[in-house]
Structure 1
């Protein structure tokens, strides 16, 4: 008798759902969630029936795009690299709470247009159950465009996927989560390429030069609010003069550390329940 854990059951559900498909396009980011989905899809359907679409835009690092393309290729997937101009869309550049909806809408439409003539019938993203616990207007765009979230359909959470990805030999099973740089700006702050590049450069310095794997530089005009895990705050405080001087050279006149430490989705905390409900 073979004993199946709850994670085995979830993975079995995922495999069963994928096995029913003729083919699959995955909106692939190179993150752990979409990588796990890509791995299981390749194992289930075969590389000739799975296409990983990697999207680049001004709101993501080129390095992340290149790494995602390389990893998908290494996994044996068919890969299609695309670009979309988010800052050219006034509704996205305005950086309102609904901008996340327009961003996802543009993503899904760009993918659908690119694969329309290739016979692919199902598009999926890497949304997981944890995404239901935060403010996600992009879920509306997903539903409107008929995109499926198979990881959610299998009731998979981030903690589940990290375990299963490691068991499946996926090299980035412990990759630090990343997201659009739009999340570094308060709602209502118009996004510009200059401001975006300033954040990119600041986070690169903190991540690559100082070694902080998880870091966010929230941009409040000429003030940088640096979010780090609590375990890194003392070390960063000891380097405060160096950090402040470097970020000043990069365009921030003032630098502060967030005493509440890093938290994903921090900018959504200012939204009232009514504001969130108005967008769903």
Structure 2
């Protein structure tokens, strides 16, 4: 029999209630926010630690926002950092690089949890993540971290519903992802490319577009926005063209397929994406 969202939330509470002390990998997104809030409700804030990880591949604004949100929720915060661009396996930017990136993260969090006396490392992976190319699942399993939302069979729509009921302001926050996801596989990562896509996206966001990706194809920038915003994007074409050329792109294009997460995975062979859990 199919479980209701309320029943899944009750199951989530049962899972968390037996964990004693937990360290939550906290990004400030809707998924990890629900994990943090429900852990606090079941275990008490004194037994929950929000680990906010700074990375060269994520925006500083995301880090600062996560710290602020956890503090507003009354949860102790641990600010920490990983250096992904010091790992050659990540720099190479192959499909396997996602595995090494998550392996670095989970290893770092496991060490912190052991040092500070927390029984479990929790992340915000959800059931939807089972249907995409997610090498991080393998790294998660190897590290022994727990994806409690998956264990409770929760999907994104249900997570948003529960987070909204808890009056948490990020319930409808768009998903964020590593800036490395904007760069094609096989193109080595470096700080210059990461900065280019970061600054390009932030410029377009400031123009009023809340869902945007700028894909880096050498001297070509490929912009993705939602179909309903495509016409509006063209109204700003001159200023966008000028800004992105200032950032180092010679050509600026608009993807007619529109905004979508994981578009760089579309070129991967089927046998690669189907091996996401192994």
Q: Same fold (TM over 0.5)?
A: yes
Give the C-alpha shift of residue 275 in structure 1: 2.8
Give the C-alpha shift of residue 111 in structure 1: 1.0
For the pair 1:131 / 2:129, whether they are aligned, the reply is yes
Find the aligned partners of 2:52 and 2:183 in 1 and give their Cα distance: 24
Structure 1 residues 278 and 164: CA distance shift in structure 2, 3 A: closer
Unaligned runs of 5+ in 1: none
SS in 1 for 2:108: helix
2:48/2:76 contact within 8 Å kept: yes
**1:212-256 CA-partner distances (Å, limit 9, x unpaired):** 001000000010000001111011122222211111111111000
Matches within 5 A, 1:71-220: 71-208=69-206, 210-220=207-217
2:30/2:160 contact within 8 Å kept: yes
Find the aligned partners of 2:176 and 2:127 in 1 and give their Cα distance: 17
**1:91-145 CA-partner distances (Å, limit 9, x unpaired):** 0011100000000000011111122122111111000011011000000000000
- How many residues are treated as equivalent by the alignment? 275
Deviating above 2 A after TM superposition, structure 1's stretches of 4 or more consecutive aligned residues are 274-280
Give the C-alpha shift of residue 80 in structure 1: 0.4
Picking from 217, 222, 240, the partner of 1:243 is 240
**1:3-61 CA-partner distances (Å, limit 9, x unpaired):** xx811111001001101111111111110000011111101100111111011110001
SS in 1 for 2:66: helix
RMSD, matched Cα: 1.1
Find the aligned partners of 1:165 and 1:199 in 2 and give their Cα distance: 30
SS in 1 for 2:85: coil
For the pair 1:222 / 2:219, whether they are aligned, the reply is yes
Find the aligned partners of 2:68 and 2:232 in 1 and give their Cα distance: 34
Find the aligned partners of 1:242 and 1:265 in 2 and give their Cα distance: 27
Give the C-alpha shift of residue 277 in structure 1: 4.8
SS in 2 for 1:172: coil
Find the aligned partners of 1:118 and 1:242 in 2 and give their Cα distance: 50
Give the C-alpha shift of residue 278 in structure 1: 5.9
Find the aligned partners of 1:207 and 1:48 in 2 and give their Cα distance: 37
| Residue equivalent to 2:255 | 258
SS in 1 for 2:169: coil
SS in 2 for 1:178: coil
SS in 2 for 1:148: coil
Find the aligned partners of 1:130 and 1:275 in 2 and give their Cα distance: 18
Find the aligned partners of 1:82 and 1:10 in 2 and give their Cα distance: 32
Find the aligned partners of 1:116 and 1:36 in 2 and give their Cα distance: 23
Matches within 5 A, 1:13-24: 13-24=11-22
Picking from 43, 67, 70, the partner of 1:69 is 67
